Structure 1
C-alpha cells in the first residue's frame, strides 16, 4: 500500500509535485541526503510519536533531534517513538518510508520550525527509495500541519536563530 497510497494522495492533492524514485535506499537521513545530493538538514524526516494515549506525526529537519523538554511542554506528555510494527499499522508506511501522504489512519501532523529556513525539503514518499521535493510552508499547508518548536540542534550545529518558546497544544 505505502508507495501507492502516497502516490495516489499526491496525485489528488499536489499533482504538480514530482515523485523521485532514487533506485537506492533513502531509508535514513544520511542515505536520502546522499541520494539527493543535498545537506542532511533538507531531509524532512517523519517521526511517529506517542504522547500519552495520543499518536502524532512530526516532520523535522534531518539534522535535528527531538528535544524531550520542548516536546513535553508543547504536547503535555513525554514523547515516545512508536515501534516499527505500530508505525506501519497506523501510517501504512514502514519505517524508512514513513511520510504524511496517504496515511492508513488520519493522524494529527506537526512540522517543526527546523524546516522553515530551507527553500525546499525532501520528505519520504511512502517507500524506502522515494521522496518528493516541496517548500516547507506548502508541505505544512498540504498536510494540514501545525508548526511547533520541539527539536534542537547540537550546540555546535546551531546555525539557525532561536524560535520563541512553544505554546502548549490542545
Structure 2
C-alpha cells in the first residue's frame, strides 16, 4: 500500500509518527482542509503531468491553478495531466493520494511551486486518499528531492493568508 511506503519513508527519517491518517477522505483540497482543520490554501496538492521522460509532479498551494503559459515556458511542453492509471503506474500513488515521497521511478521529477512559500507549514498527501503530513517548505523541498522551485501557477495571489 502506498501510505505504508510513505510511512516507512518518513520513519527512516525519524518522522514516521508525523504521518496523519484520517477516518474520512482527504482526496480533494476541500476534504483535506476539513480533515486537517486548515484553510484550503495550506493543502499542498500534487498534480502529475505527462513529460517526454515520464512524469513531472508539481506541488502547489491548494488555492493555486496551473497557468498554461507559465507551465509551457518553464517546461517547454503543454500541461497535460496524466490519466489516473498512468499516475499510479509512474508514481506508485493513486490520484487523491499522489505525493512526492517514496517514489522509486527515476523518470518522475518533482517541482515545488512558489505559491506555497507564503505559509510556515503546508500539508501534502502521504500516499493515500485519507492522509497528510505537516511540513515546512524547506522540509518539503528536502523530503521530496525536488528539482527546484518554479512559478507555474495562478489564482493564489488573490487569497489572503
After TM superposition, the score normalised by the length of structure 1 is 0.87
Give the gaps of 5 or more residues in structure 1: 161-170
Q: Which residue of 1 aligns with 2:153?
A: 151
Matches within 5 A, 1:85-164: 85-106=85-106, 107-145=108-146, 146-153=148-155, 157=158, 159=160
SS at match of 1:23: coil
1:70, distance to aligned residue in structure 2 (A): 0.2
Q: Distance in 1 between matches of 2:116 and 2:17?
A: 18
The RMSD of aligned alpha carbons is 1.8
Q: Aligned pairs, how many?
A: 159
| Structure-2 change in CA distance of 1:14 and 1:68 (3 Å) | farther
SS at match of 2:25: coil
Q: Distance in 2 between matches of 1:51 and 1:63?
A: 24
After TM superposition, the score normalised by the length of structure 2 is 0.92
Moved over 4 A (4+): none
1:46, distance to aligned residue in structure 2 (A): 0.5
1:101, distance to aligned residue in structure 2 (A): 1.1
Q: Which residue of 1 aligns with 2:84?
A: 84
User: For each residue in 1:114-144, what CA deviation from the matched residue of structure 2 results, as whole angstroms up to 9, or x when unmatched?
Assistant: 0101010000001111100000121112222
Q: Quick check: 1:116–1:137 contact (8 Å CA) kept in 2? A: no
Q: Quick check: 2:71–2:79 contact (8 Å CA) kept in 1? A: yes
1:15, distance to aligned residue in structure 2 (A): 2.2
SS at match of 2:119: coil
Q: Which residue of 2 aligns with 1:68?
A: 68
1:52, distance to aligned residue in structure 2 (A): 4.3
